[in-house]
Amino acid sequence: MTTTTLSPPQTGTPRTPRVAYAIVALALGGFAIGTTEFVTMGLLPDIASGIDESIPSTGHIISAYALGVFIGAPLIVSVAATLPRKALAIGLVLALGVGNLLTALAQSYPMLMAARFVAGLPHGAYFGVASLIAASLVPADKRGRAVSSVMLGLAVANVAGVPAATWLGQTLGWRTAYVAVVVITIATALLVLAYVPHSPRDRGARIRTELSALRRPQVWLTLAIGTVGFGGMFAMYSYIAPVVTDVAHQGKSFIPAVLFAFGLGGIAGTALGGRLADWAILRSLMGALVATGVLLAVFTQVASHAPALVATVFLVSMTASTLVVCLQMRLMEVAGHAAMLGAALNHSSLNAANALGAWLGGVVITSGYGYTAPSAVGAVLAVAGLAILATSGLLYRNERLAISLSH
pLDDT in tens, 189-242: 999 999 988 876 665 556 666 666 677 888 899 999 999 988 888 888 888 888
Q: Which residues contact 162 (CB under 8 A, 6 or more apart)?
A: 34, 35, 38, 39, 42, 259, 262, 263
Q: Which residues contact 39 (CB under 8 A, 6 or more apart)?
A: 161, 162, 165, 166, 169, 177, 178, 181
Count CA atoms within 13 Å of residue 216 on its CB side. Answer: 28
State the Cα torsion 352-354-355-361 to the nearest 10°: 140
Q: What pLDDT score does 23 carry?
A: 92
Q: DSSP labels for 151-198?
A: HHHHHHIIIIIHHHHHHHHHHH-THHHHHHHHHHHHHHHHHHHHHSPP
Residue 180 has pLDDT above 90, yes or no: yes
Mean pLDDT across 159-167: 87
**Burial environment of residue 139 by CB neighbours within 10 A (0 to 12, 13 to 18, 19 or more):** exposed
Residue 186, domain member (yes or no): yes
Q: Please say whether the beta carbons of 296 and 382 come within 8 A.
A: yes
Q: Which residues contact 47 (CB under 8 A, 6 or more apart)?
A: 40, 58, 61, 112, 174
Q: What pLDDT score does 273 carry?
A: 87
* Identity of residue 376: A
Residue 133, domain member (yes or no): yes
H-run or E-run covering 395: helix 373-406
Return phi, psi of residue 305, to 5°: -110, 115
Whole-number average pLDDT of the chain: 85
Residue 6, domain member (yes or no): no
Return phi, psi of residue 403, to 5°: -65, -40
* Identity of residue 131: S
Q: What pLDDT score does 115 carry?
A: 95
Residue 336 has pLDDT above 80, yes or no: no
Handedness of CA 145, 136, 11, 91 (dihedral sign): negative
Q: Which residues contact 31 (CB under 8 A, 6 or more apart)?
A: 153, 154, 156, 157, 160, 161, 184, 188
230/309 Cα distance (integer angstroms): 19
Q: What pLDDT score does 4 carry?
A: 39
Count Cβ atoms below 10 Å from residue 170 Cβ, excluding itself: 19
Which of 368 and 95 is assigned the larger pLDDT?
95
Which of 36 and 137 is assigned the larger pLDDT?
36
Residue 8, domain member (yes or no): no
Q: What pLDDT score does 48 carry?
A: 87
The percent of residues above 90 in pLDDT, for the chain, comes to: 35
Residue 85, domain member (yes or no): yes
Q: What pLDDT score does 12 carry?
A: 45
Q: What pLDDT score does 329 carry?
A: 85
Residue 9, domain member (yes or no): no
Q: What pLDDT score does 2 carry?
A: 38
Domain count, the chain: 1
229/86 Cα distance (integer angstroms): 32
Residue 392 has pLDDT above 50, yes or no: yes
Residue 10, domain member (yes or no): no
Residue 312 sits in a domain whose CATH number is 1.20.1250.20
Residue 8 has pLDDT above 60, yes or no: no
Q: Which of 152, 180, 185 is nearest to 165 (CA)?
A: 180
H-run or E-run covering 77: helix 60-79
Q: Give the CA angle between residues 273, 195, 264 to the nearest 5°.
A: 30
Residue 174 has pLDDT above 80, yes or no: yes
* Identity of residue 355: A
Residue 4, domain member (yes or no): no
49/233 Cα distance (integer angstroms): 25
pLDDT in tens, 251-286: 888 887 888 888 899 899 988 888 888 888 888 899
pLDDT in tens, 48-71: 888 878 887 888 888 888 788 888
User: Domain range for residue 378?
Assistant: 18-406
Q: What pLDDT score does 228 carry?
A: 92
